[in-house]
Amino acid sequence: MSINKFYKVKDGKIEGIGKICPRCGEGVFLAEHKDRFACGKCGYTEFKGKGKKK
């Protein structure tokens, strides 16, 4: 697995790509699924919205 999928270098500093888990903090990223973002460590889940429903 290539590390370039998860990090990028910008102005000589390493930055993570993707959302960070608000419960676990820095260094723990949320996995992106079709309909949600999920943390594999603590189980935190954010569902992707389709916009406002009428």
For the stretch 9-20, pLDDT in tens is 889 988 878 899
Question: Is 54 inside a domain boundary?
Answer: no
- Give the count of domains, the chain: 1
For residue 39, say whether it is annotated as part of any ligand binding site: yes
Question: Is 15 inside a domain boundary?
Answer: yes
Q: Which of 12-16, 28-32, 40-44 has the lowest mean pLDDT?
A: 12-16
Question: Is 25 inside a domain boundary?
Answer: yes
Question: Is 52 inside a domain boundary?
Answer: no
Domain of residue 29 covers 3-47
In this prediction, residue 53 carries a pLDDT of 56
For residue 42, say whether it is annotated as part of any ligand binding site: yes
For residue 13, say whether it is annotated as part of any ligand binding site: no
34 three-class SS: coil
Strand partners, 47: 36
- The length of the chain is 54
Between 4 and 52, the higher pLDDT residue: 4
For residue 24, say whether it is annotated as part of any ligand binding site: yes
Average pLDDT over residues 14-34: 90
